Amino acid sequence: MKKLMVLSSVVCAMLCLCACGSSSKKLVMATNAAFPPYESVEGNEIIGIDPEIAKLIADDLGRELVIEDMAFDSVIAAVQTGKADIAMAGLTVTEDRKKNINFTDPYTEAAQVIVVKEGSEVTTPDDLEGKTIGVQIGTTGDIYAEDIKDATIERYSKFFEAINALSQDKIDAVIVDREPGKVFVSENEGLKMIDEEFTVEEYAIGVAKENTELLDQINASLKKLQESGKIDEIIGKYIKAE
Ligand code: ARG
């Protein structure tokens, strides 16, 4: 009897060690935290809409959220190679990306917009023809810019670098997501956003193709969070209605 008890406590301890130490308990999120209000660095914390939604999902799944900040054009590869469980980076759903990863149901709508200097001759998307356009590498803005006739594309690793180049007249316009665009315009004097949206998009969470169990779990979680109004609450905290 005594032997059995010793044995069972050893087994218990081992189980606990495995469960507590294993990475399966973590939910690793790949992001690029230079994209306010979706994700940005504040002090030594990553804040924004995406980390807050991810935290609620992780809580719901009983997992510990770990955020890995990296280059935007690495977030999909991070999920594909298993370095991260999810890619959540204001990530637009595209047919091309669907070849490499699965997307959850979208959690918000988005758009690409054009930011220019006040007084710019660019007043509609058509005016971008022949212009020098700044984008963040690997974003949908980068992809759309490729279709603009005679345009020169300047690719930056972070959006704010493109915004700085615009302020310094090194480029004519920046194609960026609407809400981050609004933040950049409000933080940099002399810039404005063109009213006409370039494209309308949706953001979703990227999950590895083979990880369909996680995909289903996150979709179930997202549904609950949407129904309870928690997602709208988080978005409303960061994006004020006009
Ligand atoms: N929505 C765009 C895309 O998916 C840009 C996302 C950039 N995200 C970021 N965290 N820097 O391509």
Tens of pLDDT, residue by residue over 190-242, are 999 998 888 999 999 999 999 999 999 999 999 999 999 999 999 999 998 76
Ligand 1 atom, smallest distance to 158 CA: 11
Question: Do residues 115 and 101 share a domain?
Answer: no
Cα of 16 vs centre of ligand 1, distance in Å, is 39
Question: Do residues 47 and 165 share a domain?
Answer: no
At 30, is the secondary structure helix, strand, or coil? Answer: strand
Residue 19 resides in a domain: no
Cα of 89 vs centre of ligand 1, distance in Å, is 6
Question: Do residues 116 and 192 share a domain?
Answer: yes
Question: Do residues 159 and 186 share a domain?
Answer: yes
Question: Do residues 93 and 213 share a domain?
Answer: yes
**Sheet arrangement for strand 34-35:** 34-35, 39-42, 45-47
Total domains present in the chain: 2
Q: What is the structure's pLDDT at 241?
A: 76
Residue 84 resides in a domain: yes
Indicate if ligand 1 lies below 6 Å from the C-beta of 221: no
The residues facing 27 across adjacent strands are 65
Alpha helices in the chain (DSSP H): 2-21, 49-61, 75-80, 95-98, 140-145, 159-167, 178-187, 212-227, 230-238
Cα of 96 vs centre of ligand 1, distance in Å, is 14
Nearest CA among 60, 58, 98 for reference residue 76: 98
Question: Do residues 34 and 142 share a domain?
Answer: no
Indicate if ligand 1 lies below 6 Å from the C-beta of 107: no
Residue 159 resides in a domain: yes
Tens of pLDDT, residue by residue over 148-184, are 999 999 999 999 999 999 999 999 999 999 999 999 9
Indicate if ligand 1 lies below 6 Å from the C-beta of 67: no
Q: What is the structure's pLDDT at 211?
A: 97
Indicate if ligand 1 lies below 6 Å from the C-beta of 87: no
The domain of 193 spans: 110-200
Indicate if ligand 1 lies below 6 Å from the C-beta of 92: yes
Q: What is the structure's pLDDT at 242?
A: 67
Residue 193 resides in a domain: yes
Nearest CA among 132, 123, 111 for reference residue 176: 111
User: Tokens in use for 118?
Assistant: 């006040």
Question: Do residues 69 and 41 share a domain?
Answer: yes
Q: What is the structure's pLDDT at 18?
A: 45
The CATH number of residue 144's host domain is 3.40.190.10
Tens of pLDDT, residue by residue over 102-149, are 999 999 999 999 999 999 999 999 999 999 999 999 999 999 999 999
Tens of pLDDT, residue by residue over 51-68, are 999 999 999 999 999 999
Residue 3 resides in a domain: no
